[in-house]
Chain A
Amino acid sequence: MFRKILIANRGEIALRILRACRTLGVEAVVAYSEADRDSLPVQLADEAICIGPADAKRSYLSAPAMMSAAIVTGCDAIHPGYGFLSEDGGFAEVVRAHDLVFIGPPATVLERFASKESTRRLLANHGLPTIPGSNGILRDDAHALEEGARIGYPLLIKPAAGGGGKGMRMVRTPRELEASLNVCRSEARAAFGDDSLYLERWLDENRHVEVQVVVDRYGHGVHLGERDCSVQRRHQKILEEAPTPALSEAARTDLCSRAIRAVVAAGYENVGTLEFLVDNAGNYYFIEINCRIQVEHPITEAVTGIDLVATQIRVAAGEPIGFTQADIEFRGHAIEFRINAEDPERDFRPSAGVVERYLPPGGPGVRMDSHLYAGYEVPPFYDSLLGKLIVWGPTREAAIARSIVALDELLVEGIVTNISIHKALLASDTFLEGKMTTNLLDRVGGAAFLAAAARA
């Protein structure tokens, strides 16, 4: 096991990693930017080190600053969390070159899965169904139009390097495709430093279902079930649940078993998530793999009882997983609500400022992962995630009933949050019936959901 881990992230995930380190008996150092000097992970840390100014490019995204911080504090491993440097193969290689361990897939594995487009082909070769799409990276506009005509509209333009919905766009006509390519390229370049794009057929009514896997360096892999992340706004997940209400137990087992077989065969290592689109008929298509711990990992922890972050650290340290597929028992239902500093009444505009009051909810099955405290100033420089409310119940209905109580208890004053949209979702028949699709919020609009909830 590691002796000391540098936590190369901020906010709730820095806190989550700190807690995992403590339960493993590993020392941790929190690396922070000047804007996060007063943040909760810095205050709770045994050790913290300022790595740069508020600008993420010079702090959380700076590989030299992170690496230097790890060296001067005597760390032997770096946990990148999610976002920032978490899927940066170059950074993983720098860490390895300095004889430290990157807590995630090894650099070679990250490289192999770096391009979404080639990963799609790789896992298709290992038996996963994929959505019809372009044959490789788009060379130019003419190639895009040619491939568009072959696949058929509507289409989704996707950056090969990215995630999180950046640089992604749905187009219905060749004209829209042509008009969108440059925008997507520049968004992709800005977000990932790589502007290669590819095309996929757009499935109009679909669900986003993802499979959590863990693979150790000895080639043993287990899946920890799936998560349904169909409640999205502009490709950003806002609520996730496990298991998915969209598939039967047999179909879920089939999906997860195929997913773990394929990634183990393809040489994956560490924790990862395979994302699938599921259509109305229950067909599923592999779309991409996320080579990191994900925001929504706690719902998997809630239904399996397994500490995913601690498992990730153990596996990165070279330990075997320590349990088999047969040991994993799925219990009940869990829902995660992402609490964001966004105003649903104003088109989810981000907000920043001082949290004047903060009262987290409690009770059986209720977990709040958040870096908030009363008096904390939410800096305007980073993403809007303030925390995650995770609610478990023995059944989906029970989890929803507890969620309603928990969301009512949760109090954040001083900044605007999206709590109202979660309450509205829990009052919506579509959600209660388990029929959310990824485009529903965008199609109907957040305002309509809020209005419907207000009437109810």
Chain B
Amino acid sequence: MASDRSRDRTSAERSEKARAADHAAIDRLADEFLPALAAKLAATGLGEIEVREGQWKVRVRRPAGEAAMQQRRGSDKASRAQPGHAGHGHPPAGLEGHRGAQGRGPVAHSTNGSSPSLTPVGPGDGADAAAAQQRQDARDEPRSTRTVATSPAVGVYQPRPEVRLGTKVRSGDRLGAVDMLGIAQEVVAPADGLVGPSLVEPGQAVEYGQELVVIELTGEG
């Protein structure tokens, strides 16, 4: 919530026109650039890609824990959202199918340090843009991104009640468990961070590798 307020203040300092342009640009980024960049990043296996277009600059980075996770999963293919998913007529989708909140694969950095969505690095035009660029440069290197805790088994998911949105967790901390035929298989945080949105409901059936909980990374990206 704090982040939203800070962003509002930032926006208020700028003209209506610049803000509208920003929003249009953000939409375009989210819809067009980001999925393509994310797919590119996944395909190349690079750690980071930066693209400039006009006065815009977008950097996509694979979180530190992400490379290992990708390797463990052994596939760049999208996981099915539900166990017992409809397979017919659904060719395996690449990373293009995954965005933001799903958190699989590389995710764009947010530059304000806490927002889960991507923020363009250099907005607007003219002096406004230059000022923004300056503000941007003054900030720390992008450091917050996200990863996702996945299911270690096929079964029924139960989060730990004390793990809530915003709870600070360390890599390896228990977030919940998947009950596989009476055997509790622990769901652990893949990295240090803050607990983000849950992608499944408590008591929901999940398959192996299914994405369960977003973790907003707080350490070095």
Report which A residues bind B (CB closer than 8 A).
29-30, 34-35, 37-38, 42-54, 59, 64-65, 67-69, 71-74
Contact = CB atoms under 8 A, between A and B. Distances in A.
B91 interface: yes
A71 B181 CA distance: 9
Given A50-B208, A64-B183, A68-B181, 9 more contacts: A30-B87, A34-B74, A37-B75, A37-B77, A43-B87, A50-B154, A52-B208, A53-B72, A72-B84
B91 A43 contact: yes
* B contact patch SS: loop
Contacts, number: 86
Contacts of B202: none
A50 B180 contact: no
B80 A48 contact: yes
Contact of B180 (A44, A48, A68, A74): A68
A68 B154 contact: yes
A42 B181 contact: no
A90 to B, nearest CB: 13
Closest 9 CB pairs of A and B: A72-B205, A73-B84, A45-B87, A64-B181, A48-B87, A50-B207, A47-B84, A68-B180, A49-B83
B153 interface: yes
B87 A52 contact: no
A313 B77 CA distance: 33
Nearest to A27: B84
Interface in B75-115: 75, 77, 79-80, 83-88, 91-92
Nearest to A75: B84
B87 A65 contact: no
A52 B209 CA distance: 8
Given A68-B153, A69-B154, A72-B156, A42 B209 contact: no
26 contacts: A29-B84, A34-B73, A34-B74, A34-B75, A34-B209, A37-B75, A43-B92, A46-B86, A47-B85, A47-B87, A49-B83, A49-B85, A49-B207, A50-B207, A51-B154, A51-B207, A52-B154, A53-B74, A54-B74, A64-B181, A68-B153, A68-B155, A72-B84, A72-B205, A73-B83, A74-B84
B207 A44 contact: no
Contacts of B84: 29, 47-49, 72-74
A72 B83 contact: yes
A50 B87 contact: no
A50 B79 contact: yes
Contacts of A29: 84
A30 B90 CA distance: 14
Interface of B: 72-75, 77, 79-80, 83-88, 91-92, 153-156, 180-181, 183, 205-210
A67 B153 CA distance: 12
Nearest to B74: A34
A65 B154 CA distance: 6
Most chain-A CB neighbours within 10 Å: which of B87, B154, B205? Answer: B154
A44 B87 contact: yes
Given A37-B92, A48-B80, A65 B86 contact: no
Nearest to B88: A46
B60 to A, nearest CB: 24
B87 A38 contact: no
A52 B83 CA distance: 12
Contacts of B74: 34-35, 53-54
B83 A46 contact: no
Most chain-B CB neighbours within 10 Å: which of A29, A35, A50, A68? Answer: A68
Contacts of B85: 47-49
Nearest to B72: A53
A391 B150 CA distance: 46
A188 to B, nearest CB: 28
A69 B83 contact: yes
A69 B205 CA distance: 9
Contacts of A44: 87-88
A52 B73 CA distance: 10
Nearest to B83: A49
A53 B86 CA distance: 20
Contacts of B180: 64-65, 68
Most chain-B CB neighbours within 10 Å: which of A48, A53, A71? Answer: A48
A59 B205 CA distance: 17
A48 B86 CA distance: 7
Contacts of A35: 74
A45 B208 contact: no
A47 B74 CA distance: 22
Nearest to A63: B181
A320 B72 CA distance: 47
A162 B109 CA distance: 55
B147 to A, nearest CB: 18
Nearest to B206: A72
Contacts of B153: 52, 65, 68
Contacts of B183: 64
B82 to A, nearest CB: 9
A42 B79 CA distance: 13
Contacts of B72: 53
Given A64-B181, A67-B181, A50 B155 contact: no
Given A43-B87, A46-B88, A53 B208 contact: yes
A38 B80 contact: no
B181 A50 contact: no
A319 to B, nearest CB: 26
B155 to A, nearest CB: 5
A36 to B, nearest CB: 10
